[in-house]
Structure 1
C-alpha cells in the first residue's frame, strides 16, 4: 500500500465517522452534549475542538442552558478574555440557570440592583436552579416562585449546604449586607 493510497483510505474513514455522527438525531446529540457540558466545561470544549460537526451541535442553546460554570468565579478578580466574555454572554442569552442565579446574587448584594436581581433569581428558579428556589429573607420581595410540594423534601435536605453557600457568597459579595438564612415555606 502506497503512502498516497493510505491517505485516501484514512480520508474515506474520516468521512464515514462524520456521516455516522450526522445520523444521530439532533435532539439526542444536543442532549448528550448538554450532559457533557453539565459535568465539565473542559470536556465540552475538547468536544467542540474535535470536529466541525460536534462544534455545530455544541452551539445548540440547550447545551448553553446546561453548561457547568464551576470554573468561573462568582466575582471575577481580573478581566475576562474575549472568549470567556462571549461564552458567558451566550449563557446569559440562552438562560443558563447558574449564570442567572449568580448574576442575581451579585446584583442583589454588590450592586444593589434589586429589580435586576429579582428578575434573574425568578428566571433561575423557573429553570429549576435549586438555590433560587429558596425563600430569601433579605428583602421585601420574599418569594421568587412557588415551590411544588414534591420538591420541598428535596430542598429541605439541601438547606444546610445552601446556607453554607449563602455564607460564602455573603463573605465574597455582601460586605455590609444583612441576610438571614434561607428557609423553605
Structure 2
C-alpha cells in the first residue's frame, strides 16, 4: 500500500472576502434583528459574533441590539466588575435595556439609598413591561399607602395607566 502525500496549501483569503461582502449585502435592520436575538440569549455569543468581522462588531453596538441584550451573566449586586463589563452595562442602560434599567434601579434604590433616581430607573423598566420592575414599583407604592402624604408619594410612584384607577 502506497501512502499518499497531501500537499499543504495556504488558506484561501478569497473566502474571507466573500463572507464580508455577503454580510454587507444584507439589510442593516435584518442584521440588527439577528444580533438582537443572539444578544437576548447570550452575551458571550454576541461577543463571539462581534469578533468574527468588523461589520458585525459595529452592528453589535446598535441601540436595538443592546436593548435586547441578556443580563443574566452580570451580577445583580454591585461588586467589582471589569471596566469592559461596566462599560457594556452602561451602554445597555443608555439604550433603554429593561433589565439593565431594572438592575441599576434596584442598586440605586436599595443599596445606595438614592431613592429618587433608583425609582426613576425602575419606572422606566416597568414602562418597558419588565415584570420584576413592575412588581418592585408596586411594593414601593404599597409601602406608602399608610403614610400621611399618600397622595404625593403615589404620584411619585405611579405606574403607566394607574392614575385613572387611583382617582376612582
TM-score class, shorter-chain normalisation, is: 0.7 to 0.9
TM alignment of 1:13-162, pairs within 5 A: 13-77=15-79, 79-134=80-135, 135-136=138-139, 137-139=142-144, 140-141=153-154, 142-146=157-161
Long gaps (5+) in structure 1: 148-185
Alpha-carbon displacement from aligned partner over 1:43-89 (angstroms, at most 9, x marks no partner): 00111111111111111111111101101111133x22121121111
Which deviates more, 21-30 or 133-142?
133-142
Which structure has more relative contact order (CA 8 Å, sep 6+)? It is 1
Long gaps (5+) in structure 2: 1-6, 145-152, 163-168
Q: Note the C-alpha offset of 1:145.
A: 2.3
Larger radius of gyration: 2
> Matched residue pairs, number?
142
Q: Note the C-alpha offset of 1:132.
A: 2.0
Any idea what SS the aligned residue of 2:44 has?
helix
The RMSD of aligned alpha carbons is 2.0
8 Å Cα contact 1:41-1:67 kept in structure 2: yes
Question: For residues 46 and 72 of structure 2, what CA distance do their matches in structure 1 show?
Answer: 13
Any idea what SS the aligned residue of 1:133 has?
helix
Question: For residues 73 and 87 of structure 2, what CA distance do their matches in structure 1 show?
Answer: 15
